[in-house]
Amino acid sequence: MIGTISLATSLFFALLAAMAYGYVMKVKADRDRARCWGRRSLFGACLSAVVASAYLWAMILGDHFEIAYVANYSSRELPLMYKISAFWAGQQGSLLLWMLVHALASLYLCGRERMTAAGLTVYAVLESLLVILVLAKSPFVASATAVQDGVGLNPMLQDPWMAVHPPIIFIGYALLAVPFAYALGALLKEEAKENWLDPARRWALIAWGFLGAGVFIGGYWAYKVLGWGGYWGWDPVENSSLVPWLLAGVFVHVLHVAKRRPAALLVLHLSVIFTFALVIYGTFLTRSGILGDFSVHSFSGTSIGMTLAVANAVVLIGGLVLLALKAGSLPQGKVYEEYASREFCLLLGALLLVFIAAIVFIGMSMPLFTQLLGKPAAVDTDFYVRTTLPLAIAMCLVMAAGSCLCYGKQAEPFHRAVPAALAVIGFALAFLAGVRSPGLLVLAAVSILLLGETLVSWRRNLLRFGAMAAHSGIALALFAMVLSGGASQSLSQEFKPGDSAQIAGHTVTYEGQAFADDSTMKFYCYRVDGSEVRAMTKLHRNGEDAAREPAIAHMLTGDIYIAPTPPKDTGRMELILKRGRMGMGDLFAYRYDDVTMEDQPDGTMLVTAAIAVTDGETVEHAQPAIIATRDGGTSTPVPVFGGQKRIRLTGISANDSQARLEILPSAEEEAQIAVTASVSTKPFIYLLWIGAVAASLGCFAAMRR
């Protein structure tokens, strides 16, 4: 109740703020009072958002499974860190988080004339839209049935990187609303560009930095946890965060042109409208369930699609109509004088970014467009690689040229020897590392050229520190993408414990399985050139695999990446026993004698079967048990005959006449099973992480005036 009321209050205040600031913008009388009302309303909206969020957290931490969201994403046993992050594990909570960040930012913006009334009107309208989205898919809906324990957080997502990934992305999304509001506010009031360009630039840079860091963390997690060997799969969910990132890059760069050449303001407005519209479009695409059959990220179909589509139309059409109406008042003129000028390079670079964004946009939207036309289709990921490669090469050249040019007319002529030498070095390094694809070799050459030119321009004071860090980060990341992808070697084979394989001069030896003492995890242990690495598998309480992670050995030349696949034959077998009858296992015979059921205080039921086990001479009695819940149960294996076999109760028929048992080999035997693994090298992949971190930090450093 408290949650829904807070949301409704928040909506009320956000609308009130929009009206108050709208009044300040349009009417001359009583401005100060209206402004005061606007500020109070924004505070009210923010306070309600904080209350709603605090309430959701309290519900999660207090195990209140009567709320469906808590039941779906949390459970009693979930560690505290993941209970906190369960807040944004599902879409309802993510949207609430987005709304919270948006509201918190408004507290800063409405103070000390930081933003005009027109800007704040736009911002408050966006806030209302967000609250409506949260209300349309509220996280506070009650569970349909009484629930004793939640289903918990997907074990694959129980990783520190995944705990911080969504909030970082959503901070980026939320803060992109600020430059949008500045730009539209400026259009509404036909404001002088000096007043809003600088704060818009700084907010866009923070948002850009967060969004980039979020995208990067997602990729790093995929590499470290998912075990398919890559960091980027061109999946719609990934693409939908990449497109706003690319377009925010357009905004940040065109802004520098607009500062000196007012005619670029039109492009600047367009870029910010499309950036924010695509933030919402991405959310729509990934959260509406339209891509269910095309994406590996399973989001089931939901009712929120229509609301999101409407919000998207409001932002896009509203922004474009306003721009069309006011386009006449924008300054006209030349946006560049000469080709050899920084303006021209900035604009050409922006155009290339738009091209990349358009390609990714078309690719990720294909399922939607073709579905509307009646013949669903998707594009192969090959499409993205083939088309973005030449663009990335052009991008590097434009960035390198732009950074050693200044605005307006050039005093110094271009020097050619240094860039040519750099390109040769890049080409040679990649070739020596083993890259043979011509396109990738060219990309390696131009990325090193870019890296060198960026550093030279920084020394010559043509680039600021932030831009230098961001640009060299991008150059380094591209170079690392070429090496880690283009020079990667791989093999796939079956390893018995003690078996070795040679790859790129390294020896990989499989040493067998090991189990954690509390049996929540097992490990596949490998030795790579003498140092031990382990691939972790998280286990369900019943001993089945819950999530697998690869083993990664880090070296100066890059990573050795080992992804074991679960063994085909685990030596397990299933027996169905009629009450009182014997059933044969491969070593012992089993008889199901009796069953007892006890209700537990926490609402579950303990089902214990009495099983007699014999090797033909002696008889042993075992009591395997299931803790039964409404939707299934969990059971732990119990050892028989000194651990020679382990047995696990997996089911009892409705009338108690049959019991289902799983017979497991001894722990030692299981450790000896042969395991197929794919082993690959990822040369110099750490340069990619370094580059990505530098690119994000560069954004924050560039914020300084």
For other proteins, what does the binding mask look like between residues 144 and 173, x meaning CB under 8 A?
-------xxxx-------------------
Closest to other proteins by CB, 61 vs 391, is 391
Can you tell me whether residue 617 is helix, strand or coil?
coil
- How big is the chain, counted in residues? 705
Instruction: Give the chain's largest Cα–Cα span.
Output: 101
12 sits in which H/E element: helix 2-26
CB of 345 to other proteins, least distance (A): 12
CA 381 to chain centre: 18
What does DSSP say about strands 573-578 and 625-629: parallel, antiparallel, or unpaired?
Answer: unpaired
Nearer to other proteins, 227 or 249 (CB): 227
Q: Which of helix, strand or coil describes residue 501?
A: strand
- Contact region for other proteins (CB under 8 A) — 372-380, 607-615, 617-625, 664-672? 372-380
Q: Which of 44, 90, 543, 691 touches other proteins (CB under 8 A)? A: 90
By CB under 8 A, how many residues form the interface with other proteins?
43
Q: Tell me if 72 contacts other proteins by CB under 8 A.
A: yes
Q: Does 366 bind other proteins (CB under 8 A)?
A: yes
Residues pairing with 491 in the sheet: 679
- State whether the Cα torsion 135-153-541-296 is positive or negative: positive
DSSP H stretches of helix in 62-116:
68-73, 80-86, 91-109
Q: How far is CA 606 from CA 77, 597, 634, 694, in A?
A: 18, 6, 10, 54
List all residues 6 or more positions away from 341 whose beta carbon is below 8 Å from its beta carbon.
Answer: 405, 406, 407, 408, 409, 410
566-595 residues near other proteins, rule: CB under 8 A: 566, 568
In contact, 88 and 98? CB cutoff 8 Å: no
Find out whether 511 and 535 touch, Cβ atoms under 8 Å.
no
Among 161-169, 214-222, 373-381, 695-703, which window interacts with other proteins (CB under 8 A)? 373-381
Among 378, 536, 674, 703, binds other proteins (CB under 8 A): 378
186, 216 contact by CB (below 8 A): no
- Closer residue to other proteins in complex, CB, 658/678: 678
The residue type of 659 is A
Work out which of 13, 55, 65, 73 binds other proteins, going by CB under 8 A: 73
Judged by CB under 8 A, which stretch of 192-200, 297-305, 450-458, 584-592 contacts other proteins? 297-305
CB of 295 to other proteins, least distance (A): 8
**308-337: contacts with other proteins (CB under 8 A):** none
Binding piece for other proteins, criterion CB under 8 A, among 271-279, 379-387, 521-529, 688-696: 379-387
Q: Which of 507, 565, 596, 623 binds other proteins (CB under 8 A)?
A: 565
Which residue from 50, 107, 379, 673 is in contact with other proteins, where contact means CB under 8 A? 379
Q: What DSSP string runs through 234-281?
A: --HHHHHHHHHHHHHHHHHHHHHHHHH-GGGHHHHHHHHHHHHHHHHH
Q: Give the span between the Cα atoms of 146 and 153, in whole angstroms.
A: 19
Q: Does 230 bind other proteins (CB under 8 A)?
A: no
CA distance 524 to 515: 9
Told to check if 536 binds other proteins by CB under 8 A, we report: no
The residue among 69 and 590 lying less far from other proteins, judged by its C-beta, is 69
In a 3-state reduction of DSSP, which class is residue 523?
Answer: strand
* Tokens describing residue 123: 């911002």
Q: Which of 359, 468, 487, 693 binds other proteins (CB under 8 A)?
A: 359
Judged by CB under 8 A, which of 32, 194, 382, 518 binds other proteins? 382
What residues contact residue 31 under an 8 Å CB cut-off, 6+ apart?
24
Among 43, 161, 220, 355, indicate the residue that binds other proteins (CB under 8 A): 355
Site for other proteins in 386-405 (CB under 8 A): 386-387, 390-391
HEC assignment per residue over 635-693: ECCEEECCCCEEEEEEEECCCCCEEEEEEEECHHHHHCCCEEEEEEEEECCHHHHHHHH
The answer to whether 376 contacts other proteins (rule: CB under 8 A) is yes
Residue 492 sits in the site that holds other proteins (CB under 8 A): yes
260-279 residues in contact with other proteins (CB under 8 A) are none
Q: Is 498 in the site for other proteins (CB under 8 A)?
A: no
Q: Footprint of other proteins on this chain (CB under 8 A)? A: 72-73, 90, 151-154, 227, 292-296, 298-300, 302, 339, 355, 359, 362, 366-367, 370, 375-380, 382-383, 386-387, 390-391, 492, 548, 565-566, 568, 676, 678
